[in-house]
Structure 1
Amino acid sequence: MTLRIDAHQHYWQIGARAGYWPPRELDAIYRDFGPEDLAPELAAARISGTVLVQSLPTEDDTRFLLGLADKTEAVCAVVGWVDLKATDAAARIAAFAAHPKARGLRPMLQDLPDDAWIDDPILDNAVAAMVEHDLRFDALVMPRHLDALYEFARRYPDLRIVVDHGAKPRIAAKAVEPWLSAMTRLALLPNVHCKLSGLWTEAGDAGDPTVDDVIRNRVRPYVRVVAELFGARRLMWGSDWPVLRLAPCSGGYGEWLAACEADCARFLGAEAVPDVFGGNATKFYRVGDFLRHA
């Protein structure tokens, strides 16, 4: 039996985010979110476990997430943050990797002033440490970062990389290029995977959209692209909860899951659904042992 995995969700304490996103005016997510908030959604959707992903570029936040993982059975992997260009990056990575649920790192590339930050050989030591400790690299990028990400992924073929949120295509503007061309080239690299997550919140807020409008007229063409580019073995579903609460429609966790399952069956075939919604994340983040003994 294939387990169902949410490959991308967040927890945070709003009091620890002074000076960081989200701003106060985003009422739907400007508060604390913890395991007790997500638990009903996981139960209703029959999700076996989650990948908890950092949302602050601080080691304090990463320690907070690892502490939650210690107490939360449903969290089976943590993607944290380390300064990958620090002179002691290898030691910091080793310390992170010592935690039994540490599975990956994410440098929050979308927020850095240099779009080519990742295309830098100074990362050699950090990447070597990640490979040594069997850690994954989550790439939080936008279309403008994809050329640099391609060079990075090509330089480090032994590093397993996943593109978060399909690289956040400009869905609200109905823009396909340069995202499509860049993603097509990136998908040719076998070490690169992609998360089917975060797309509803890129759909914009024109008018008063219904769930059906968002799915059929806005998001589905982009889901089709990532499904066809990465296929049934390199695509994994994530909720991006609680950021999902910002989606410009009445859809919630269950609706996003159901919409993605239907579209994956449409574009990849029903036999691909168990992999996209659990199997691939289980293998990518090495979480099978936690779930088998839960």
Structure 2
Amino acid sequence: MPVIDAHQHFWRMADRVGEWPTPDLEPIFRDFEPSDLEPLLKSAQVDGTILVQTRESEDDTAYMLDLADHHAFIKGVVGWTDLKAPDAAERVRKFAKHPKLKGLRPMLQGISDLRWICDSAVEPAIETMIEHDLAFDALILPPHLPHFHEFAKQHSQLRIVIDHGAKPYIAEGKISLWRKGMEALSHLPNVSCKLSGLLTEAGDQKPQAIRPYAETILDLFGPERTFWGSDWPVLRLAGDYQGWHDQCRDIVPVEHHQAVFGGNASTFYRLNG
């Protein structure tokens, strides 16, 4: 079973003038392209990746799909389109024609309306995603959890994965309300969760602070619906690729490594067919 990094990014700063990342985020304030990641994958013995959007731009999605066409290690792309556009269904249909387009991700964490995704205006796009067997990556924060549960329950045929464990407030040591929201989502069989991004949320806490949150994700979603991602290069704000990979391999029981570090992502993103 190949080892899959289920969440990584590439970007060119020329495309992001005035956007995130800002100059104060020095470790990630530069271009990141395949040649930067390939040595890290080789060292960690990771066979392939899922490349995930970072801009609300169809041009960015086209850029990622072009990279996937030229780099075999990019097994799938999670792109972006405006799910509320009048022609959203057509846009989804267009991207679905590309064999490496595996899912879409609205950037819900940056939308002030916590119920944005519950709007009926997204229905045509969501129905088209289901029709074309595309996954939904949920970039959400703890306050989104009850509202996102409503959306996920309503769309039981939509394959959903929670990115970065919904970014729990690890730096503040808050866990109870986050756990309650995640537990509700875990009862929905169409929802999975990525073991990714937690180190960045730890702030000044020691890396060990993420263990209770990572173990909660594993407990709630089980080894069948949890899969690992690096969130590289954002990861560089808090650690390094090999270190995060090793830390997660220590947290996940050995008997579940094959599933969490490859098998589940391959199944969820339809990498084998």
1:221 aligned to 2:205? no
Task: Tell me by how many angstroms 1:140 deviates.
Answer: 0.2
SS at match of 2:211: helix
User: 1-side partners of 2:245 and 2:165: how far apart?
Assistant: 16
1:242-275 alpha-carbon deviations (Å, 9 max, x no partner): 000001xxx411111111111011xxxx221100
Question: For residues 2-41 of structure 1, what are the structure 2 equivalents within 5 Å?
Answer: 2-41=1-40
CA deviation string 1:138-174 (max 9, x = no partner) = 0000001111110000010000000000000000000
Identity over aligned pairs, percent: 52
Is 1:136 aligned to residue 135 of structure 2? yes
Q: Provide the rounded CA distance (Å) in 1 between the counterparts of 2:174 and 2:34.
A: 36
Aligned to 2:63: 64
Post-superposition shift, 1:24?
0.9
Equivalent residue, structure 1, for 2:268: 284
- In the alignment, the residues of structure 2 paired with residue 26 and residue 255 of structure 1 have an alpha-carbon distance, to the nearest angstrom, of 20
* Superimposed CA distance per residue, residues 187-209 of structure 1 (whole angstroms, 9 cap, x where no aligned partner): 00000000000000000126xxx
* TM superposition shift of 1:21: 1.0
Letter in 1 for 2:147: A
Q: Secondary structure at the match of 2:94?
A: helix
- What pairs with 1:92-107 in structure 2 (closer than 5 Å)? 92-107=91-106
Q: Number of residues paired by the alignment? A: 273
Question: Which position in structure 2 is the counterpart of 1:257?
Answer: 245
Q: Kindly state the Cα deviation for residue 16 of structure 1 after the two structures are TM-superposed.
A: 0.8
1:288 deviates by 2.3
Equivalent in the alignment of 2:108: 109
1 CA distance for matches of 2:191 and 2:183? 11
RMSD after superposition = 0.9
Give, in whole Å, the separation in 2 of the partners of 1:148 and 1:118.
Answer: 8
> What SS is found at the alignment partner of 1:195?
strand
Distance 1:178 1:59 in 2: 35
Alpha-carbon distance in structure 2 between the residues aligned to 1:204 and 1:232: 27
Q: Distance in 2 between matches of 1:138 and 1:53?
A: 9
Q: 2:236 aligns with which of 245, 249, 273?
A: 245
Structure-2 residue corresponding to 1:209: none
Aligned-pair CA distance for 1:214: 1.3
TM-score normalised by L of structure 1: 0.91
CA deviation profile, 1:224-250 (whole Å, cap 9, x unmatched): 100000001100000000000001xxx
**Equivalent AA in structure 2 for residue 50 of structure 1:** T
The residue type paired with residue 184 of structure 1 is: E
Q: Secondary structure of 1:193's match? A: strand
The partner residue of 2:226 within 235, 241, 247 is 235
Looking at structure 1, the residues matched to 191 and 120 of structure 2 have their Cα atoms a distance apart, in angstroms, of 19
How far, CA to CA, are the matches of 2:224 and 2:179 in structure 1? Answer: 20
**Matches of 2:144 and 2:93, distance apart in 1:** 27
Post-superposition Cα deviations, 1:92-134, rounded to whole Å, max 9, x if no partner, equal 0011011110000000100112111011222111111001111
Q: For residue 272 of structure 2, what is the amino acid of its counterpart?
A: G
| TM-score relative to the length of structure 2 | 0.98
> Partner letter of residue 178 of structure 2?
W
Task: Give structure 1 stretches of 5+ with no counterpart.
Answer: 207-212, 290-294
